[in-house]
Structure 1
Amino acid sequence: MSQYEQCSDEELIERLRKGESGISDYLMEKYKDFVKKRARAMYLIGGETDDLIQEGMIGLFKAVQDYRSDREASFQTFAGICIDRQLYSAVKNSTRQKHIPLNSYVSLSEEEETGALEGLWSENPEALVIDRENTGLLEKRISKALSPMENRVLDLYLRGYGYVQIAEMMGKKPKSIDNALQRIRMKIRDYIESLQV
């Protein structure tokens, strides 16, 4: 697989389209941590982590299959959109089954890259811009609702650290970090539910 490391994702997709095997597996492995980070963010608002990682990998697979290099977005940007949409659908479907509607999608992960997204979806491009602005506003309001400690815990959690690691880094007991994560989840859920009234 190291033979692919010198190539851009876009080059690899072109080679995959021409029938070169192994590239799909390489891209799936390369972006696995990218998927996990996004799944961890969605877990906070109502999903099971392992299930969400699987859903995210499905979104990544779709991105590998559907990416078109003639669009004005990088593969990573396109993959992020496909993964987020798959995760959002999974959370929305699971909450629908619990009779708790989730009409708002919240991404708590940092944007890895920005680029022109025109033409990626058949939807109105203005809707994507508005969605991004709303997400940014939501992140700011959630940040204000959290204490400084909770914001720090959330930041470390979204970077992939477990609660034991966060406790060590912050000089706290693991139980206090676990409690902070529970409070964060509750505050995020309460805030999202208040928007749907």
Structure 2
Amino acid sequence: MSVDSIQREEEARMIVAAKNGDLMAFNQLLKQFNPLIKGVVSSYYLKMGDRDDLMQEASIGFFKAVRDYDFEAEASFRTFVRLCIDRQLITAIKSATRKKHEMLTNSLSLDMPLATDASEDWTLLDIISAQKAYGSPEEALMEQEGESRLLKKLNERLTAFEKKVVVEYISGKSYQEIAKALSKTEKSIDNALQRIRKKASLP
């Protein structure tokens, strides 16, 4: 019996054991496939927030792969693991993006006055910087309550078009993508963002 055959049999034994609730077998499989998991996560790192969150989602995908793997299927376990992790990460990213867009839209629709407080005087540039630092605007909101207050302040100052530009821009779209989505020129988008920054900087 070849080394590959022995390894496949051992892997199959651990999969069966893990399916039956053997935590040691599951942890051994998780350790064995950790390089693959990290490799998949790295390809999504720039698309979603914190790496630890991505690893957690990937681990959930791996658990589903162990739970659902069919030995009669044509795909190897490794291929199935990759598929399940991809699905889990894509689902998580779509969910985060949808929640982010809903939260920003709802925040911008609020019509409440903002109390001026130097310790909470965020600008739009702070939001954009926070997006890069934390991975998504909702994570930045958890870090700084001042950002939600800024959105309320902007609601009083921005036009309907400028509000749409803010939502599209913070969701990560390029000038070209925003222009296409709003049926405007890239120049008009750039001008709108310049106006928004000025309005955000006012006390």
Please indicate the TM-score interval, normalised by the length of the shorter structure. 0.3 to 0.5
> Which structure has the larger Rg?
2
- Greater helix share, structure number: 2
TM-score by length of 1: 0.45
TM-score by length of 2: 0.44
